[in-house]
Amino acid sequence: MQLKGDKCIGGKRSKERLTVLLCTNMSGKEKLQPTIIGKFEKPRSFRGVRHLPANYRQSKKAWMTTPLFLEFLRCLDAKMGWKGRKILLFDH
């Protein structure tokens, strides 16, 4: 596997991509399950995996898209609503 900046020797540069969304409260004590965005709907590496400790979503270029982010926000809103909590989101 090649990383960004590595010189390509004897083959093609890797086109593997992943986007990872991490979310926690300000103290870091309460963490949500990570959301991983990959290029394939059913990656070969997940074959036989029964439980993934993350939410996996598919996007053509493995990018966070508006529909994927809205899905994340709706799930987060529902989860916090069930707990009777109100939250403020900001990025760093």
Q: Going by C-beta distance under 8 Å and a sequence separation of 6 or more, which residues neighbour residue 80?
A: 86, 87
> What pLDDT shows up at residue 1?
59
Compare 53 and 13 and report the one with higher pLDDT: 53
Bridge-partner residues for 55, per DSSP? 35
Give the containing element (helix H, strand E) for 70.
helix 66-82
Residue 19's CB is within 10 A of a number of other CB atoms, namely: 16
Centroid of chain to Cα 18: 8
> What pLDDT shows up at residue 37?
95
Work out the pLDDT band at 41, boundaries 50, 70, 90: confident
Rounded Cα gap, residues 16 and 8, in angstroms:
14
